Structures are given as C-alpha cells and as structure tokens.
Amino acid sequence: MYHLSEALRFPSPHLATEEGIVAVGGDLRPERVLLAYQKGIFPWFEKDDFLIWWSPDPRMVLFPDQLRISKSMRTFMRKNTYEITFDKAFNEVVKACARSETFLSQPGVKCLKELCVAITGVSLISKTFMNAASET
C-alpha cells in the first residue's frame, strides 16, 4: 500500500488494489486534489478519519453519442422539470451537498468540511488556469 508523504506525488492508478485503492494518507491541499483528479484519482474517507485515494476500474464513462434514452425517460424529460448546466454555481452545489441529509448519513463524511474546501480550491485553481489559457 502506497503511503503519501508531503511530496505532491501519486503512484499510477494502474497500481490500484482490486477495490481501486491507489494510496492512503496525505492531505487535502487543493494542489494535491487537483493532481489526483488529473490522474483519475479521488479522495474519500474510511471510517470517518482515514484518507484513502481511489481510482476504481472500470470507471463510469458516459459517451453521449452512445446514450440510449428510454421512452419513459423521454416523456419525463419533455416535462422540463430539470435544467442541465455546466460549471455554474459550483460552490453552491458543493455546499448544498454538504447539507444533504442523505449525503451526510453515508459512512466516511466526518471530514466533509475539509473535502468541500479542497474541492472548492480545485475549482478556483482550474478556473484561474482556464482563464489564463484563453487569454493567450
């Protein structure tokens, strides 16, 4: 099992255990979380205090051109009950998830505040990078 140090490094996700565990330990600095996301790794807690980094295989990947929508789903979608947006109100969505009773009742959410702070930091870093890249 790979134990993370202070260095911003991760082992290859291909070295994950059968369950998808890549590493344990480390911290939730936005830079570490961003590096993990770039490698297809995400953090979660086990038993409310143990930080574990995951990269399960297979991952859920949705290819829009291969999506088949059932008749009942098409009927539901025509009602326009929901709106699909991209990269809108990110911080508000993270905060709403943090208040969700369903979410909060799941094992491993004791350290949710730190995870929300890290995810929000990653969002800010990503937006800053994307804005800088679009200006060049």
Domain spans in the chain, listed from the N-terminal domain onward: 3-134
User: Mean of the pLDDT values across residues 60-68?
Assistant: 85
Residue with tokens 């999506």: 67
One-letter amino acid of 53: W
CATH number of the domain located at residue range(s) 3-134 in this protein: 3.30.70.3550
Task: Name the phi and psi angles at 10, rounded to 5.
Answer: -135, 150
pLDDT digits (tens, 9 = 90+) for 68-104: 999 999 998 889 888 877 767 777 777 776 676 666 6
Query: Is the Cβ–Cβ distance between 35 and 4 less than 8 Å?
Result: no
Helices 112-134 and 30-38 meet at what angle, rounded to 10? 70
Report the pLDDT value the prediction gives residue 123, as an integer from 0 to 100: 64
What is the Cα–Cα distance from 17 to 15, expressed in whole angstroms?
7
What is the Cα–Cα distance from 94 to 73, expressed in whole angstroms?
27
Query: Is the Cβ–Cβ distance between 2 and 11 less than 8 Å?
Result: yes
pLDDT digits (tens, 9 = 90+) for 35-47: 898 898 988 876 5
User: Mean of the pLDDT values across residues 17-37?
Assistant: 90
Report the pLDDT value the prediction gives residue 6, as an integer from 0 to 100: 92
Report the pLDDT value the prediction gives residue 93, as an integer from 0 to 100: 72
The secondary element (H helix, E strand) that includes residue 96 is helix 90-99
What is the Cα–Cα distance from 71 to 51, expressed in whole angstroms?
42
- Answer yes or no: is pLDDT of 126 > 80: no
Report the pLDDT value the prediction gives residue 1, as an integer from 0 to 100: 78
3-state secondary structure of 11: coil
